[in-house]
Structure 1
Amino acid sequence: MAKGEETRHFIIEKAAPIFNTKGIAATSMSDIMEATRLSKGSLYVHFENKEVLACAAVEHNMKILSEKLQRVLMPYKTSKEQLFAYIDFFSDPNHPPVAGGCPLLNFGTEADDTNPIVKEKVNRAIKQGQELLSGIIEKGISNKEFRADWNPSDFATVLFAMLEGGHLMARMSGNNDRMEVIVNNLKKIIEENRV
């Protein structure tokens, strides 16, 4: 990696948790300067403005989330185990896998009316998450783990929405009581659809 690319990557790594924690609007270039110990001029050599850096930080946060999730799912062979592992991965929003919380929820909430580029990045990540879940269920149906009449796309949507909603509720209340209810109900639905 060339020196310029290394510096760019370093800035993104330092900026990503700040943007995910404070939000795009509330994060200033001074915050990034403090975290990186770089001058404003150095930052602008690598990113023409805060918006460009914010988009790179959004992608970085979602990449970290995806990579961590893939590492968690990898050891499991059955679809049921993978679905349970997916649910467990997101089951403690007050100790999230990415610093600052779920980047989909954080950036999606902020960008839905203000930043079409970030909105599209989040929307794409949501679709990928639902496709991953649908694929796990489809594999389980073809392996005769799950009932043939179970709709993978519908349950992927329900699972995704319930976990994101639970994430919001847990972060607002500061405890996981409601998330535990959601986790238990999702696992119950999965068990009910086993062959």
Structure 2
Amino acid sequence: MNKAEKTRQFIVERTAPIFNVKGYAGTSLADMTEATGLTKGSIYGNFANKDEVALAAFEHNWKRVTTLLSVEMAKCDSSKKKLLALVSVYGNLQSHDFPKGGCPLLNTTVEADDTHPELRKNAATAFRGWMTSIVTVIEKGIAAGEFRAGIDAEQTALALIAMIEGAVMVSQLTGNASHRTAIMAAVERTIHDLT
């Protein structure tokens, strides 16, 4: 990695938590310069504009989530346990290296829906990737006889993601982690019902 790449990475790592907490609209250039200790010229010498920084920050935050999920799922020896790893991670965010501010997919989707088409596009791509990975786990579970035949893998994956993201949203909205715990218990029951 050359010096320019290291600087870009430094900027992304330092600003990603701010974008995830404050969002695109709420993150100012002053926030970025304060977080990095760099000048406006240094930031915009490495990125064309705030949009580029925000897109890179989302990718960084989402990669942290997918890496965490992949590591936890890789520890599991069955499809059911892999799905239950989602419950473990999202049910205990504080115990994992999860991005500050909650789920970047949820945060970015809500904010970028009407205001930032490129961020929305990236969030949609991230969602499709997550959906595909869960569908794959479910299909492998069906093929292995772990899950009932005839389960609609895509519909099940969609329901799991909706419940997980809903749990995070309700918990953030109310400031009450017990809501997330209760919804994650419903996710766990849904996974057990696949057998």
Q: TM-score, normalised by structure 1?
A: 0.95
Secondary structure of the residue aligned to 1:18 is: helix
Q: Structure 2 counterpart of 1:28, which letter?
A: S
Aligned match of 1:6: 6
Aligned match of 1:19: 19
- Native 8 Å contact 1:94 1:170 kept in 2: no
Q: Structure 2 counterpart of 1:187, which letter?
A: E
Q: Structure 2 counterpart of 1:22, which letter?
A: K
Q: Structure 2 counterpart of 1:172, which letter?
A: L
Secondary structure of the residue aligned to 2:13 is: helix
Aligned match of 1:136: 137
- Deviation for aligned residue 1:191: 1.8
Q: Deviations over 1:95-152 (max 9, x none)?
A: 7711111001111100000111000100111111111111111000111101001111
Q: Structure 2 counterpart of 1:33, which letter?
A: T
In structure 2, distance between residues paired with 1:121 and 1:42? 25
- Native 8 Å contact 1:130 1:157 kept in 2: yes
- Native 8 Å contact 1:94 1:171 kept in 2: no
In structure 1, distance between residues paired with 2:166 and 2:94? 13
In structure 1, distance between residues paired with 2:125 and 2:31? 28
- Deviation for aligned residue 1:93: 5.4
Q: Structure 1 counterpart of 2:68, which letter?
A: K
Aligned match of 2:38: 38
Q: Deviations over 1:46-90 (max 9, x none)?
A: 011111111111111111111111111111010110000012211
Q: 1:131 to 1:101 in 2, by over 3 A?
A: same
- Deviation for aligned residue 1:177: 2.4
In structure 2, distance between residues paired with 1:118 and 1:124? 10
Q: Which has the higher helix share?
A: 2
Aligned match of 1:72: 72
Q: Give runs of aligned pairs for residues 7-156 of structure 1, distance below 5 A.
A: 7-92=7-92, 97-156=98-157
Moved more, 177-186 or 66-75: 177-186
In structure 1, distance between residues paired with 2:31 and 2:125? 28
Could you say what the CA RMSD is over the residues aligned between the two structures, in angstroms?
1.4
- Could you tell me which runs of 5 or more consecutive residues in structure 1 were left unpaired when the two chains were aligned: none
In structure 2, distance between residues paired with 1:27 and 1:160? 27
In structure 1, distance between residues paired with 2:94 and 2:76? 25
Q: TM-score, normalised by structure 2?
A: 0.95
Q: 1:95 to 1:75 in 2, by over 3 A?
A: closer
- Could you tell me which runs of 5 or more consecutive residues in structure 2 were left unpaired when the two chains were aligned: none
Aligned match of 1:170: 171
In structure 2, distance between residues paired with 1:121 and 1:170? 24
Q: Structure 1 counterpart of 2:7, which letter?
A: T
